[in-house]
Structure formats: structure tokens, C-alpha cells
Amino acid sequence: MSVPRKPRVELRGWASTQRQAPDGAIESEQRVALPHPVVAWDADGARALGRRYWREVEGSLLGLVRPRRAGPGLELRLLGLGPVLLRFDAPRVEASAVRVGCTYPIAGGALARRRGGEISFVQFDGGRLELSSAIRGFFPFLAGRTGRRSLGGTLYKHVQSRIHVAISRRYFAHLIAEASR
């Protein structure tokens, strides 16, 4: 598998926020301003947001983590065959004239402490055209509870969280570059 080259696209209006709730749930959102829509304002465009993200996961991680269909949902597996790192239920798709999105409920896996939360990809126009990638209500196995020091919490913050942010940046850059062609 060839490594996808990082497109040379300036990400304008890049913002990234992360926090951990007292119950240990993770909230992380990355946003970027768009020069133009990157997908159509319909259900196919919404699904394309999700598909492109999972391609970016596989490419960014050099194929070590691979998305695989699992019934109506999706699994991220080590080398495509190994243990299920994260399992997602079927995506929920939304589409309107100002918002398209694809949201995958988190159903478990080795990197999840329990079922819960979601990852979503949304293009929206609320006066400024933007694209977002967000994780909400996720209970990662590697994160401890707020206020408690733990090796797992350190690993989440310095490994899993940073990987998600880096993949989001590449995802945004690829979508913008592809839509500009």
C-alpha cells in the first residue's frame, strides 16, 4: 500500500478543542473553514464524509489499522484481521441545504471502556462554511477519569488523542484538495 501524500492545502480557520468530563467521557472537536463545499448537500455527500475519513485512517496509519464493514456498521482492526480496536454501529446520515453529516455511534472495541459516544463528520454553513470532525461521549480505555493520574490517561492524551487530531487535519486537507480539482 502506498502512503498517501499530504496535500499542500492551507487549513484556514483551523480550531481544535478537547476536554474530558468528570465521568471520563472524551469530547474532541476539530474545525476548519472551507473555501467551498467539499461534498454535495445530500445523503450521498454525507456518506462521502464518513467514507473519506475511514480511508484517511487507514492511509495515515500505514495500513496498521484498517476499517472493515461489519454488517451495517464498521470495525477498526489491527492489520485488518486482528482484534477489533473500535466498533461502530451503522452511520446516521443527515442532509439539508445548510448541513450534511455522517455520525457513527461507538459500540465498543478494545480501545473503548464501554459502548457510548459517537464520531461525526459534518459540513455546515452557519454564516461561514465549515467542516468538523468530532468525538463526543467516548469512554476510551486508555483515558482515566478526570482528576486521577494514570498511565492510561497519559497514553490517551499523548497517543490516541494526537492521532485523531493528526488524522483530522489530513482528512480536511484531502477533502479540500479533492474538491478543488
Is residue 107 pLDDT above 80, yes or no?
Answer: yes
Q: Pseudo-torsion of CA 40, 56, 136, 79, nearest 10°?
A: 140
Tell me, what's the pLDDT at 152?
47
Tell me, what's the pLDDT at 156?
58
- One-letter identity of residue 122: V
List b or e across 88-106, with b for residues whose CB sees 16 or more CB atoms inside 10 angstroms: bbebebebeeeebbbbbbb
Is residue 73 pLDDT above 90, yes or no?
Answer: yes
Tell me, what's the pLDDT at 112?
92
C-alpha cell at 84: 477489533
C-alpha cell at 89: 454501529
Dump pLDDT digits (tens) for 19-34. Answer: 888 888 889 999 999 9
Mean pLDDT is lowest, of 30-39, 45-54, 150-159, for: 150-159
Mean pLDDT for all residues in the chain: 88
Report the share of the chain in percent with pLDDT over 90: 68
Tell me, what's the pLDDT at 2?
54
Which residue segments constitute the domains of the chain, with CATH numbers given? 15-180 (3.30.530)
Tell me, what's the pLDDT at 163?
85
Is residue 6 pLDDT above 70, yes or no?
Answer: no
Dump pLDDT digits (tens) for 119-158. Answer: 999 999 999 999 999 999 999 886 655 555 554 445 555 5
Tell me, what's the pLDDT at 159?
61
Contact 66, 79 (CB under 8 A): yes
